[in-house]
Chain A
Amino acid sequence: MTQSSKQTQLKIFLPITARPPPGVADTWLARLRQQYFSSALSAALTVATLFLFYLLISPLVDWAIIKAVWSAADRRECYSISPDGACWAGIVHWFNNIIYGRYPDLEQWRINLVFIALVAWAWPIFVSRFPHKTLVFLSLWFIFPLFASYLLLGGTHNIVSQIFFAVACAMVIIIVACLVWLLLGRGLNPSHSSLMRLRLPALGLTVLAFACQYYLVLVPVETTRWGGLFLTLVIASVAIMMALPIGILLALGRRSSLPVIKYLSITFIELVRSVPLITVLFMAVTMLPFFMPNSVELDKLAQVLVAVSLFSGAYMAENVRGGLQAIAQGQTEAAQSLGMNYWQTMLFIVLPQALRLMIPNIVTSFISTLKDTTLVSIIGLFDILLMAKNMALDKKWLDLHTEPLVLIATIFFVLCYGMSQYSLHLERKLQWSH
């Protein structure tokens, strides 16, 4: 009896309702006060900083907007309208050249089309729910450059259209092989069936490639006429695209157990990393032809692309190696115990983790590659920087240096800041262990 009465007397536990932590401001005004005016010193610092900002910003706004001249025939007219404002009229006048270089006016739609196609092509990669990202990514990597160079270069007898042709032939062979396989009635395993699913797009591309090769020949545009922001972006994106695969191969090579591969990789990485980019560029453009037979005429842009790609690849190799070293040996052992070979282990287990760890470093490399491309102006490629210099040599806009440089700085800031923000977003998205 006492037992049961004790049970009925048992107290029932109710948790105390949660309260917000003390001292957290709830209105923006209170928050502002708490963060920036909490003490006399803090208030003084805030006011002083604001004043400093005012001192810096107001002349800039004055120069760039309020007193700026937007339309004038030449620099003299700019001066007569407003002697200490920015002369944006020159930029407006030269804008086309700053963006497209000396690419013929009538053919500039090709650049625009490539840009639009790139955005459209790459779009699915950034849509989180799109299923076939790898496929899009690979096609962007292997097929898009062919398409882009067909449009940008034009003409028929260039190496790129020949590669395009070769790829088209390879696709025909794949299709035929698939059909033969099917006719022979062999069971298709998954890798073949996904190949089969590609047969229609492959057929379309092949037809297109043949058509382009023989019927839709565009006016050829020499790479010496390429320039401006367009050229800068071409060099930067080729370097960025090539840097990662080159870097991964070099990093794996450096960790290889085969001494020849290992020491070749180390030599390459150390050699390239200890030489300034501008030296590499000079060597590629001025010295390489000495070692070539006279009949071989090298395209300057192609030489620069190879040089910049190898250079940023060598830097990337060390980033990737850092990531590889951070992956525990146990991961490799677990993969091997499942029966994976070296390449499967790297592709599915080690590299995805290593690259994820290295995103900040990799993007830093990309950003510096983008900025390094301005060095090609020194060896006479008309990138955005050299176009700006040329603008200051134009008789009508003589010595107009500041305005184009401000424009270039703004463009680079937007591009680099965009990349850095995307990398932060990517890092957050790829976090696993929470």
Chain B
Amino acid sequence: MEPLEHPNQPETAISLSGINLWFENFHALKDIEFEVKTGEIVVVCGPSGSGKSTMVRCINHLEQYQQGQVEIFGRSLANKKVASQIIRQDVGMVFQHFHLFPHLSILQNCTLGLIHIKGMEQSQADHKAKILLERVGVADLADKYPGQISGGQKQRVAIARALVMDPKILLLDEPTSALDPEMIKEVLDVMVDLAESGMTMVCVTHEIGFARKVADTVVFMADGCIVETGPAQQVLGSPQWDRTQDFLAHVVVNSPATQNKI
């Protein structure tokens, strides 16, 4: 797929301002301020419990934040009706545990949204879904059911299912964390390919190798705050904060998989 065309001044795709979110009394997100430009690849990393998944889920309106505002291409998600409209048109999401629909075949998983939300004819939807399945390399599994395929294949199907709706933004919430080392590579390859096609992506991941290779911006979070934001080289190469340095030392040492991956 050829890169999407961008105007000279890339517009703001996602903007989060003053987001505060509590789970009961637990303050999970604190004063989050954060912007993503069109075509930008953002990798969000940080220790578990730092609120990175929660933040990404806010972008997709899966979490209700008590304060602040999320805007997608300048449109606020505050109104529930408008929010679902925007999500429908612009945002796709990939989850850590895939969440494929087990009662539908791989192909039906991908065509469901096209047929029932976009009102596409069955044959057209099938055709489109097959192109996407081909792109992520699982075209031969179209008639299987999610229970019959491996984790890496499931995640690639999940990516195809999100892409088939033509989102402008793709959110990935730890897409490789539930996978075996061997399967991580096949999913990362798809993600790299996507990143190179010019898709706007926000990806929560511990794959530092992936971040180094494709990320324009790395966001480091801890304890519900954004600690550090900047170009990948800067944040991963010469972090400004102790917390970031600690974390990177841990991740890079403990993740041999990333060394030979990318």
Contacts and interface: CB of A to CB of B under 8 A. Distances in A.
B70 to A, nearest CB: 15
Contact of A344 (B60, B101, B117, B145): B117
Contacts of A341: 84
Interface in A334-387: 334-341, 344, 348-349, 352-353, 356
B99 to A, nearest CB: 4
Interface in B84-111: 84, 87-89, 91-93, 95, 97, 99-103
B113 A340 contact: yes
Given A330-B97, A432-B102, A433-B146, A337 B62 contact: yes
B156 interface: no
Given A344-B116, A348-B112, A352-B103, A333 B147 contact: no
B119 interface: yes
Nearest to A191: B119
B221 to A, nearest CB: 21
B121 interface: yes
With most chain B CB atoms within 10 A of its CB, the pick from A334, A341, A348 is A334
B165 A338 contact: yes
B162 interface: yes
B119 A190 contact: yes
A434 interface: yes
Interface residues of A, number: 25
Nearest to B85: A339
Interface size class, chain B: 20 to 34
A80 interface: no
Interface string B51-76: 00000000011100000000000000
A339 B88 contact: yes
A189 interface: yes
Contact of A339 (B87, B100, B103): B87
A330 B84 contact: no
Contacts of A410: none
B116 A337 contact: no
A341 B102 CA distance: 19
A349 B101 contact: yes
Interface in A307-349: 328, 330-331, 333-341, 344, 348-349
A336 B115 CA distance: 15
A432 B147 contact: yes
Interface in A390-434: 430, 432-434
B197 interface: no
Given A338-B165, A432-B103, A189 B119 contact: yes
Nearest to A192: B119
A189 B165 CA distance: 18
Given A330-B97, A337-B92, A341-B84, A433 B165 contact: no
Contacts of A338: 88, 112-113, 117, 161-162, 165
Nearest to B115: A190
B95 A330 contact: yes
Nearest to A338: B113
B89 to A, nearest CB: 7
Contacts of A334: 93, 95, 99-101, 158
Contacts of A340: 113, 116-117
A333 B95 contact: yes
Contacts of A190: 115, 119-121
Interface string B127-153: 000000000000000000111100000
Nearest to B145: A432
Given A330-B99, A349-B101, A353-B102, A337 B87 contact: yes
A186 B80 CA distance: 31
Contacts of A337: 60, 62, 87, 91-93, 162
Contact of A336 (B62, B116, B161): B62
Contacts of B61: 336
Contacts of B120: 190
Given A190-B121, A331-B101, A339 B89 contact: yes
30 contacts: A190-B119, A190-B120, A191-B119, A328-B99, A330-B95, A330-B99, A334-B99, A334-B100, A335-B101, A336-B61, A336-B87, A337-B92, A337-B93, A338-B88, A338-B113, A338-B117, A338-B161, A338-B162, A338-B165, A339-B113, A344-B117, A348-B112, A349-B101, A432-B102, A432-B145, A432-B147, A433-B102, A433-B146, A434-B147, A434-B148
Interface of B: 60-62, 84, 87-89, 91-93, 95, 97, 99-103, 112-113, 115-117, 119-121, 145-148, 158, 161-162, 165
Given A336-B61, A336-B62, 20 more contacts: A189-B119, A330-B95, A330-B97, A333-B62, A333-B99, A334-B95, A334-B101, A334-B158, A337-B87, A337-B91, A337-B93, A337-B162, A338-B165, A339-B165, A348-B112, A352-B103, A353-B103, A356-B103, A430-B103, A434-B148
